[in-house]
Chain A
Amino acid sequence: MKTPTRTLGIVSTVAGLALLAGCASGDPLESGASGEQETIVVGSQDYYSNEIIAEIYAQALESAGYEVQRDFRIGQREAYLPEIEAGRIDLFPEYTGPLLLVWEPDTAGGTAEEIYDALVEAAPDGLRVLDQSDASDQDSYVVTRDFAEQYGVTTIADLASVPVPITLGGNSEGENRPIGPAGLKSTYGVDVAFTPIEDGGGPLTVKALLDNQVQLAVIYTASPSMASADLVALEDPDGFMLASHVVPIASDKLDDTAAALIDKISAAMSAADLVALNTESVETQAPAATIATAWLASHADDLQ
């Protein structure tokens, strides 16, 4: 009676071990790649508009006949960049300035074109920086409309003449970045205190601004907060904030036809598109795939 059970037990144990061994030796991010055409792995940050852009890439490649594997919402740059550099992800929507800061921490900044050129220069071997898009999602200094009108503030430099103490709110990494309080002081002669609000320019940051708990905050230009609340982004005449245009990073697995297709998407996507994509994602809570399909349908002519 016992023997069959025991045999079954041994068989299932062995099978389990074999499965485990398979998991351990095979790279979970490496696709089967048995056919002549390799699967293209598209990745995205855990950030809604980034995922939508990655989904747009993925759907466009699929309709052009490529095999695509989606590895979305991997997290922040610390988590996924090593995977890209190791060649386990083939296509990833990135942002010019922030990515350059990782590869060239001492970068001085400059215009969007200078940043892009420096990025192409800095890219490690085996990675290609495709064309940058007009669409950008960058940090901006934001004040309330009331504050801007009361003190006549339109540019970052105008903050120096504001008679009341200013507290800057933003993610804690901003405190020591070149765009933080120290940079404000050295570039524009503006003194600010700092308080951390770790939601990346989200609702907590907006509330803190509107409640006058902070007077100045760092919010992404493409954030839906900017469209809905009484907020004003300050002008940045000296190019103090790093330009942050959407830029696809690709591995060698992406052939020229595919790269050309992605370049067309970048060319077709405008800054206003990105805000619209973000707003739609936040307001309708629609999945990235739905929003991506709609965008591709409305830009079909540009992608021929």
Chain B
Amino acid sequence: MNLVGETLLWLADPLHWTGPDGIPTRLAQHVGLTVVVIAIASAIALPIGAWMGHTRRGEVTIATLVNGSRALPTLGLVTLFALWLGIGVRAPIIALVILAVPSIVAATYSGISSASRPAVEAARALGHTSWQTLSRIEAPLAMPTIGGGLQSALLQVVATATIAAYVADVGLGRYIFAGLKSRDYPEMLAGSVLVILLALVVTAAAAGVGRLYRRLTNPERTPE
């Protein structure tokens, strides 16, 4: 039988859908890990990006950060942090946060700093404080860009969270590592397919949230 058929059989096997090594458990771990990582990364990246965008400082820093981070091998980071913190889920979380932060910072910076100048100046003229300008004018105008940054960070993290299985009994990456090392290619391919499907679902969901946001906020805006 060919590999595709065997992969489908593997996915259809009810044994693979139950227990601590079952697909629902692994999927839940994978999603849980992604949510934790995005939450931590947002808590770090949104204030930094917003402050930089508002004050228009650090453009060079951002370019360096974003470009440099593309060259960082996440698996290397996992190993590095695991040597410091030990095995378990902490090292992958830190490595994935480092993966996610730059794109959120960059999107937030670019969204806030490119908020309509007349609108910002009008707000200042009306006596808005710096914080009020940021929170009432710049942030809402920047939302679509920030959303895009979050979406790309989310996609990166969902796809890369497989490496958590390098040092922890967590996530869909377990199927990929175990299948690769034991020449069980249907298992490996099934793990990959599940990650791809999850990434597609997550992207679609994020796009849906974006549309919903636009629909909810559009009526309040004046037509262009």
CA distance A197 to B183 in the complex (A): 18
Sort chain B's interface into a size bin: 10 to 19
In the assembled complex, how far is the CB of residue B172 from the closest CB belonging to chain A, in whole angstroms? 13
**Interface CB pairs A-B, < 8 A, 22:** A102-B183, A172-B165, A172-B174, A172-B182, A177-B182, A194-B169, A195-B87, A196-B165, A196-B166, A196-B167, A196-B168, A197-B87, A198-B165, A198-B166, A198-B167, A204-B82, A204-B87, A207-B82, A207-B87, A208-B87, A211-B86, A214-B87
What 7 A-B pairs are tightest by C-beta distance, nearest first?
A173-B181, A173-B182, A172-B178, A198-B166, A172-B177, A208-B87, A211-B86
In the complex, chain A residues 19-48 whose Cβ is within 8 Å of any chain B Cβ: none
Q: Is the CB of A196 within 8 A of B169?
A: yes
Q: Mark A126-139, 1 if CB is under 8 A from B, else 0.
A: 00000000000000
Instruction: List, in ascending order, chain B residues with CB within 8 A of A175's CB.
Output: 178
Query: Which secondary structure dominates chain A's binding surface?
Result: mixed
Q: Is the CB of A213 within 8 A of B86?
A: yes
Sort chain A's interface into a size bin: 20 to 34
Q: Is the CB of A207 within 8 A of B86?
A: yes
Instruction: List, in ascending order, chain B residues with CB within 8 A of A171's CB.
Output: 181
Name the one of A172, A195, A211, A213 contacting B181, with C-beta atoms under 8 angstroms.
A172
CA distance A197 to B169 in the complex (A): 9
Q: Is the CB of B182 within 8 A of A195?
A: no
Instruction: List, in ascending order, chain A residues with CB within 8 A of B178's CB.
Output: 172-173, 175-176, 196
Q: Is the CB of B174 within 8 A of A196?
A: yes
Instruction: List, in ascending order, chain B residues with CB within 8 A of A198's CB.
Output: 165-167, 177, 181
Report if A78 contacts B (CB, 8 A): yes
Instruction: List, in ascending order, chain B residues with CB within 8 A of A302's CB.
Output: none
Report if B83 contacts A (CB, 8 A): yes
Q: Is the CB of A199 within 8 A of B79?
A: yes
